[in-house]
């Protein structure tokens, strides 16, 4: 098997049996990210304690790339410091997937990272607001 085939298998495994799937009842942040072009949707709920993501769950629907990458991303950031998460770049997600995606499908791959970044932004705005 080529690397591409192995990575496709890994992605499909996440797609079929997603990790961190569901919703957190008492989430610190909740956000829906949507791609109008293909209808891919990811909803994140995250719990932030001591500047750390103590828990993260997602539900969503769409192609294997958008949903599989959400499963992989949530695995990766659970327990991570916010400051560390902010350093995750788009290319890190693409190399995590290890697939040769075209530009249109890269948008699918980055859907959950965008959602996560917006969650963190919202959280920080709230913190700055002092409440």
Partner 1 sequence: MRSWQQIKGDFPFFIENGKNLIYLDNAATTQKPKKVIDAIVDFYTHWNSNVHRGIYRLSEEATDHYEKARKNIAGFIGSRDPRQLVFVRNATEALNLLAYSLGHGLQKGDEVLLTIMEHHSNIVPWQFLKEKGVTVNFADINPDGTLDMEDFQSKLTKKTRIVSATHCSNLLGTINDARKMGKLAHDNGSIFILDAAQSVPHMPVDVEKLDCDFMAFSGHKMLGPMGIGGLYGKYELLNGLPPFNGGGEMIREVYEDHSTYADAPEKFEAGTPNVAGAIGLSSAVDYLRDLGMEDIRRHEKDLIAYTLRKEEESGIGLLKSYGPRNPEIRGGIYTFNLGEISPISLSDDLNNSNISIGSSIHPHDVASGLDRYNVAVRAGHHCAMPLTHRLNVVATSRASYYIYNSREDIDKLFESLERIRRLYA
- Using DSSP's 3-state secondary structure scheme, residue 123 falls into helix
Cβ of residue 120: shortest distance to partner 1, in angstroms?
20
CA neighbor of 32 nearest in space, from 18, 14, 45, 48 = 45
Q: 86 or 118: whose CB is closer to partner 1?
A: 118
Least CB distance to partner 1 at residue 129 (A): 25
Stated as kind and residue range, the H or E segment containing 107 is helix 103-109
Least CB distance to partner 1 at residue 32 (A): 6
Task: State which of positions 51-90 bind partner 1 (CB under 8 A).
Answer: 59-65
Q: Which of 51, 36, 20, 34 is nearest to 127 (CA)?
A: 51
What residues make contact with partner 1 under the rule CB under 8 A? 12, 21-23, 32, 34, 37-41, 43, 59-65, 105, 108
């Amino acid at each position: 098997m080529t690397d591409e085939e192995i990575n496709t298998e890994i992605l499909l495994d996440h797609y079929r049996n997603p990790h961190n799937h569901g919703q957190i009842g008492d989430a610190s942040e909740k956000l829906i990210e949507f791609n109008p072009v293909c209808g891919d949707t990811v909803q994140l709920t995250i719990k932030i304690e001591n500047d750390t993501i103590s828990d993260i769950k997602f539900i969503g629907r769409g192609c294997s790339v958008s949903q599989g990458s959400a499963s992989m991303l949530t695995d990766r950031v659970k327990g991570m410091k916010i400051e560390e998460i902010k350093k995750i770049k788009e290319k890190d997600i693409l190399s995590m997937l290890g697939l040769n995606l075209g530009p249109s499908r890269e948008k699918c791959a980055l859907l959950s990272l965008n959602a996560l970044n917006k969650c963190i932004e919202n959280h920080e705005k709230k913190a700055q607001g002092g409440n």
